[in-house]
Amino acid sequence: MPRGAPLFRDRREAGERLAPLLRGLRLDRPIVYALLRGGAAVAAPVARALGAPLEPFLVRKLGVPWHEELAFGALAEGAEAPVLNADIVAVSGLAPAEILRVQAAEARELERRRAVYLRDRPRPDPRGRPAILVDDGLATGATARAALRALRAQGAQPLILAVPVAPQDSIDALAAEADRIVCAEVSAIPRGIGGCYDDFHQLTDEEVLALLDAMPGTPDA
């Protein structure tokens, strides 16, 4: 691969790179959880390779209002409270009222996505089962941290975070949150996660639903 070239053609190729690494763990009855939206396109080939159910997992990043890409925390489905990054909150000087305003807006978006993606579909119980949380890359780790804690609280065991690319410091920062972290390419990301892909378009609701609906039915027993 030429120096500076993207690591992956698209998210599907990234998932295909992850799949054999996860298959080698020989997990019993795993559930694959996709961090939406981008993680769905990575998680689909993983779930297919493992013969596992593919479940959307809803998390919303809480971005600093004047610099929304900078996450001061994240809100995960089923969690009683958001996971906050105290350092970012302190450095940015966010007031409690600003935190609550952002949290309320993202909670509304999380509920909108719940209605779109989950509908009335039954969901497998993760208690005592391996859970593989998949995203399209790991930068600050805010959303992954919130999702891992929510899945841990639901009783998933063991808990595995799987990403195509991440810098070593981000992996180290989340080491205590997961039982194992699987990463296809440990690499610095000077151009962000998007710079690691040739095609990193933002997935639409319709694309995510198509990925979920295309998965074959997987017995939950």
List pLDDT tens digits, range 5-32: 899 999 999 999 999 999 999 999 999 9
Q: Give the pTM.
A: 0.91
Q: Where are the domains of the chain?
A: 11-213
User: For residue range 31-42, what is the model confidence (pLDDT) as tens digits?
Assistant: 999 999 999 999
State the DSSP string of 163-218: EEEE-HHHHHHTTTTSSEEEEEEE---TTTGGGGBS--PPPPHHHHHHHHHTSPP-
Handedness of CA 199, 204, 207, 211 (dihedral sign): positive
What is the pairing mode between strands 131-134 and 31-35? parallel
Domain covering 11-213 in this structure, CATH number: 3.40.50.2020
According to DSSP, residue 84 is labeled: E
**Which of 186-194's residues contact partners 24+ apart within 8 Å by CB, and which partners?**
187/7, 189/137, 189/139, 189/165, 192/139, 193/136, 193/137, 193/138, 193/139, 193/165
Q: What pLDDT, on the 0 to 100 scale, is given for residue 217?
A: 60
Mean pLDDT of 124-129: 95
- pLDDT of 3 above 70: no
- pLDDT of 108 above 70: yes
User: For residue range 145-165, what is the model confidence (pLDDT) as tens digits?
Assistant: 999 999 999 999 999 999 999
Calpha distance 145→196 (Å, rounded): 21
% of the chain with per-residue pLDDT over 90: 82
Q: What pLDDT, on the 0 to 100 scale, is given for residue 120?
A: 76
User: For residue range 155-197, what is the model confidence (pLDDT) as tens digits?
Assistant: 999 999 999 999 999 999 999 999 999 999 999 998 999 999 9
Calpha distance 145→72 (Å, rounded): 12
Residue 201 CB contacts under 8 Å (≥ 6 apart), including other chains = none
Instruction: Report angle CA 205, 21, 138 to the nearest 5 degrees.
Output: 50
Mean residue pLDDT across the chain: 92
Instruction: Report angle CA 46, 48, 53 to the nearest 5 degrees.
Output: 90
Q: What pLDDT, on the 0 to 100 scale, is given for residue 174?
A: 95
Residue 36 CB contacts under 8 Å (≥ 6 apart), including other chains = 56, 57, 58, 59, 113, 117, 208
